[in-house]
């Protein structure tokens, strides 16, 4: 899958752009480059990339605006590249429809790891439309409203089940606190502290944090993601 995937790289800083393109080239990805927001939107439309790597600070239109425009017609995975301490920007980008983020300065290994997560996300798009969701030892039967871990039914509260389904249907994608709260509670009344408590209980029931691979990954100050587990 990694061979021949086409990546659209949107970055106005030549040194970062060169690092990314050298990395992609060395790892058999194909890529196209856009140096500003307008050309990013145009290239996304003309080249139909498999993944977009998008710097948020662009000379013309803002990266978040690029996401909004591209999301008008495409669900292509978007990984945002942002500077350190720009959590608000990351959250805006994720809420606008980005899937993931890397923070500058990032390592080549980290960039490649993000791309692998996105490829697994692409591969699971079709699965997510099925009535039974399967990820490692976790199974969710949406029609029956039941979840199983290693064949045993999980005893989840209604809220925990809703949280689990939301994360599963967006497997591989980082969901912000605000997004999760709106989807699960339907309004803004529940605070992030309560969400954390529900998540901690859910993660305990999934056996997260007890070695092996975790199903749910915490992004401090940002949100949560369900990982695709082997």
- If one asks whether residue 160 binds Ca ion (CB under 5 A), the answer comes out as no
Stated as kind and residue range, the H or E segment containing 79 is strand 78-83
Nearer to Ca ion, 37 or 172 (CB): 37
- Whether 172 and 117 have beta carbons less than 8 Å apart is answered as yes
Find the shortest distance in angstroms from Cβ 206 to Ca ion: 38
Q: How many CB atoms lie within 10 A of CB 23?
A: 19
Subset of 20-79 contacting Ca ion (CB under 5 A): 55, 57
CB of 209 to Ca ion, least distance (A): 36
List Cβ<8 Å contacts ≥24 apart for 57-64. Answer: 57/12, 57/82, 57/83, 58/10, 58/12, 59/12, 59/35, 60/36, 61/36, 61/37, 62/37, 63/10, 63/37, 63/89, 63/93, 64/89, 64/92, 64/93, 64/96
List binders of Ca ion among 106-145 (CB under 5 A). Answer: none
Reading the block at residue 9, the tokens are 């790289």
Shortest Cβ 102–Ca ion spacing (Å): 13
Residue nearest to Ca ion (CB): 57
Give the interface segment with Ca ion, choosing from 6-14, 24-32, 173-181, 185-193 (CB under 5 A). Answer: 6-14
CB of 56 to Ca ion, least distance (A): 7
Where does this chain touch Ca ion (CB under 5 A) — which range of 8-16, 81-89, 170-178, 192-200?
8-16
Positions that interact with Ca ion (CB under 5 A): 12, 55, 57
């Amino acid at each position: 899958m990694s061979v021949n995937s086409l990546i659209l790289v949107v970055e106005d800083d030549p040194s970062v752009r060169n690092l990314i393109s050298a990395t992609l080239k060395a790892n058999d990805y194909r890529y196209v480059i856009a140096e500003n927001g307008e050309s990013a939107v145009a290239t996304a439309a003309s080249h139909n990339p498999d993944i977009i790597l998008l710097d948020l600070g662009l000379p013309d239109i803002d990266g978040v605006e690029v996401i909004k425009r591209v999301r008008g017609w495409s669900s292509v995975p978007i990984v945002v590249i942002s500077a350190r301490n720009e959590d608000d920007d990351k959250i805006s980008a994720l809420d606008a429809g980005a899937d993931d983020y890397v923070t500058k300065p990032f390592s080549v290994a980290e960039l490649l790891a993000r791309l692998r997560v996105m490829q697994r996300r692409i591969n699971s798009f079709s699965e997510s439309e099925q009535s039974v969701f399967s990820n490692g030892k976790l199974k969710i039967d949406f029609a029956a409203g039941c979840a199983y871990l290693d064949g045993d039914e999980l005893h989840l509260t209604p809220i925990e089940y809703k949280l689990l389904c939301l994360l599963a249907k967006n497997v591989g994608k980082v969901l912000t606190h605000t997004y999760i709260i709106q989807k699960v509670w339907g309004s803004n009344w529940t605070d992030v502290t309560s969400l954390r408590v529900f998540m901690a209980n859910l993660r305990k029931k999934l056996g997260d944090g007890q070695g092996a691979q975790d199903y749910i990954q915490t992004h401090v100050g940002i949100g949560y993601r369900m990982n695709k587990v082997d």
